[in-house]
Amino acid sequence: MAPPYETSAASESPAPVVTVDVTAASDLITSAGHRYVDVRTEEEMGKGHLHNSLNVPFMFITPQGREKNPLFVEHFSSLVSKEERVVVGCQSGKRSELACVDLMAAGFRNVKNMGGGYAAWVDSGFPVNNPLDVKQEQEEEQEQEQES
């Protein structure tokens, strides 16, 4: 009996998502030239985010709950080329892992998921852009100008 017919594509399993911890992600972003793309919502980004991060929401909050962004890969592709090295993050590392799966299926081969996400980044004491910090800095600058 002949073996069942298989194409080479059918026998190839997709490459697994590579997940790195926040320390490795920090090294990749600051020293190895990787870009950081945050897939949280704009509202989440507004509460704080990594310096120089791009934002492409993977999901939106709707009256029905969270819904996947149907244009996620298209928006991502408009900001990042398929050859670029990218670290993808979210709040905890789950959405970013799903985002990496979609990106890899679309031909992005140099994406890594940041395990633990933004929460782990903050817990590790790495620098962030926090709107409260920016507001405080602006207020301090205004006070200094008024004193001068």
Q: Which residues are the active-site residues?
A: 90
Spatial contact of 96 and 114, defined as CB atoms under 8 Å apart: yes
- How far is 50 from 38, CA to CA, in rounded Å? 8
Which of helix, strand or coil describes residue 1? coil
Measured from the Cβ of residue 104, the count of other Cβ atoms closer than 10 Å reads 17
- Across the strands, what pairs with 60? 67
- Across the strands, what pairs with 133? none
- How far is 8 from 102, CA to CA, in rounded Å? 21
Sign of CA dihedral 100, 61, 45, 56: positive
Q: What's the chain's length in residues?
A: 148
